[in-house]
Amino acid sequence: MKNKKITVLDFKKKKVSGEKITMLTAYDCPMARVIDDAGIDAVLVGDSLGMVVLGYDSTTKVTMDEMIHHAKAVRNGISRAFLIGDMPFMSYQASDEDAVRNAGRFVQESGCEAVKIEGGKDITARIKAIIGAGIPVLGHVGLQPQSVNKTGGYRVQGKDALSSGDLIKDAVELEKAGCFAVVLECVPKELAKKITARLTIPTIGIGAGMFCDGQVLVTHDILGYFSDHTPKFIKKYANIAPLIKNAVESFKQETVSGVFPDDERSY
Ligand code: KIV
């Protein structure tokens, strides 16, 4: 059933059936189209946009307007996958009103079907307010890149008894608040296993091991766009950067030498 439209109900169905959920990020239309054609369940317009595409040094610089702009493009490439917009830093932290208004923008202006929010028990009021407006919410606990200034960097979360207990409580509160699924980022696999067994909603892991109900990765990471250090949990399924560089160098060399354009490519 590769062409059946994925809805929020499919997340629960897959949790029950044990079929793994697949999710990738996209920030533009052509990439979204390829991902959709490949049969991926859900596309996340992540605030990783800032670091992956816009060249920022942190996701905290990404604005709501930038997210909307890219989510619109992604929408145009998707007909089957479930589309989720990632609420950027300061789009929901200040008030329930901000949270509902900005989640509403994702739906109304970009055609997203759900939003993702970072945070645990402290953020459940926001989540309930957004769901109350009719917008499904994907929770996100463990490493929360928007809070790295508070937590002191990008590191594995929930490694000791106290913090792992807190993480379990956070995930349970997100389920109680009505999230349809929860992202677990950079947590030990045994902790992710415990949380996955405890929740009736699916867990989507990123750096959280093999026991989660699904996996999400940044598409540019799995394509091998970046040659600098990549975290241990990333698997590169392609090495696209040298291919692009070769093509660009060939274009340059053929243009400079007069090989391109030839007769065949001229009117
Ligand atoms: O911004 C993002 O891309 C994300 C994930 C990959 C979970 O939050």
Query: Ligand 1 centre from 44 Cα, in Å?
Result: 7
Ranges under pLDDT 70 in the chain: 1-2
**pLDDT at 154 (0 to 100):** 85
Average pLDDT score over the chain: 96
Single out the catalytic residue among 118, 185, 190, 254.
185
**pLDDT at 227 (0 to 100):** 79
Task: Indicate which atom in ligand 1 lies nearest the CA of residue 52.
Answer: 3
**pLDDT at 2 (0 to 100):** 60
Q: Give the pLDDT confidence of 74-94 residue by residue, as tens digits.
A: 999 999 999 999 999 999 999
**What domains can be seen in the chain, in order of their start residue?**
9-236 (3.20.20.60), 241-267 (no CATH)
**pLDDT at 153 (0 to 100):** 78
**pLDDT at 241 (0 to 100):** 95
Map the chain to HEC letters: CCCCCCCHHHHHHHHHHCCCEEEEECCCHHHHHHHHHCCCCEEEECCCHHHHCCCCCCHHHCCHHHHHHHHHHHHCCCCCCEEEEECCCCCCCCCHHHHHHHHHHHHHHHCCCEEEEEECHHHHHHHHHHHHCCCCEEEEEECCHHHHHHHCCCCCCCCCHHHHHHHHHHHHHHHHHCCCEEEEECCCHHHHHHHHHHCCCCEEEECCCCCCCEEEECHHHHCCCCCCCCCCCCCCCCCHHHHHHHHHHHHHHHHHHCCCCCHHHCC
Pocket test for ligand 1, best of 23, 28, 44, 235 (most atoms within 8 A of CB): 44
Q: Give the pLDDT confidence of 229-244 residue by residue, as tens digits.
A: 789 999 999 999 999 9
pTM summary value:
0.96
**Is residue 185 flagged as an active site residue?**
yes
Residue 103's identity, in one-letter code, is A
Task: Indicate which atom in ligand 1 lies nearest the CA of residue 183.
Answer: 7
Name which residue sits closest to atom 4 of ligand 1, judged by CA. Answer: 46
Binding pocket residue ranges, ligand 1, CB within 6 Å: 25, 44, 46-48, 86, 183, 185, 206, 216, 218
Count of alpha carbons within 13 angstroms of residue 130, beta-carbon side: 36
Task: Indicate which atom in ligand 1 lies nearest the CA of residue 47.
Answer: 1
Measure the CA–CA gap between 203 and 179, rounded to whole angstroms: 11
Name which residue sits closest to atom 8 of ligand 1, judged by CA. Answer: 46
